[in-house]
A = this chain, B = another copy of it.
Amino acid sequence: MPRPTGRPRTAGVSPTGRGTREDILHAGARLFCTVGYGSTSTHALAEVAGVRQATLYHHFAGKHEVLLELLLGTVQPSLDAARALLARDEPAAARLWALAAGDVRLLSGGEDNLGALYLLPELDDERFAPFHARRRELEEAYAALVAQCVAEAADDPGATAAAGPDHLGRRTALVLGLVESVILQRRRAPATLDERTPALVADAVLAVVGVPVGRRGEAV
């Protein structure tokens, strides 16, 4: 997807020092989250990025490719963390906690609420398949950790976790919902998100999975 970079842009060097490609991504994030994806033209995108439209098309096939790269950035770091956590042997509850906290930190960080773009109907387009594939893999990692948590808690008298594939799928949906709810919270009341939010959401994730407080342990 991304084309080779390197050709100097028509409008000169990047005024921010981040480079042309980053300037375009930054402009896309800002415009898609304030004006709206559907209402943003490549003309506006180029203008806010401080480049000519020809330069924009040299780096991206269109605004959809800008959006795709922004979306991938909201998943890839959590996916990398998930792969690493799945390979470790700490208790599942501690690893699920770490994954959820890191994911919340990612979704609530950055200058723009990029997770809000998940709800765009435009994402049904085939061109966003790479985003959906990575997000699915991340969901599967959550599902695996939820299943391990339930298995670990099965012999604990304080556990309220229920087994069964149906229950596991539903619990995973609640976990994903809790993590991604920071996207909605950030839209509704951004001031209520702070550095304690990731830990609080991760605690809530373990409560929803049914891990008893005493078994929640420490972050990985």
Contact = CB atoms under 8 A, between A and B. Distances in A.
Interface of A: 33-40, 116, 118-122, 135, 139, 160, 169-170, 173-174, 176-178, 180-185, 187-189, 192, 196-197, 200-201, 204, 207-208, 210, 213
A122 B184 contact: no
B176 A178 contact: no
A160 B122 contact: no
Contacts of A207: 160, 207-208, 210
User: Can you tell how many copies of this chain the complex includes?
Assistant: 2
18 contacts: A36-B37, A36-B38, A36-B120, A36-B122, A39-B39, A39-B122, A118-B188, A119-B184, A160-B207, A160-B213, A169-B192, A173-B189, A176-B185, A178-B204, A180-B181, A181-B181, A183-B184, A204-B208
B187 A177 contact: no
A180 B174 contact: no
Contacts of A139: 188
Name the residue among A35, A204, A207 with the largest chain B CB count within 10 angstroms: A204
Contacts of A40: 38
A115 to B, nearest CB: 9
5 closest A-B pairs by beta carbon, nearest first, are: A177-B181, A38-B38, A38-B39, A36-B38, A116-B119
Contact of A174 (B173, B188, B201): B201
A183 B119 contact: yes
A177 B174 contact: no
Nearest to A207: B207
Contact of A36 (B35, B121, B135, B197): B121
Contact of A208 (B189, B192, B196, B208): B208
A36 B178 CA distance: 25
Contacts of A160: 207, 213
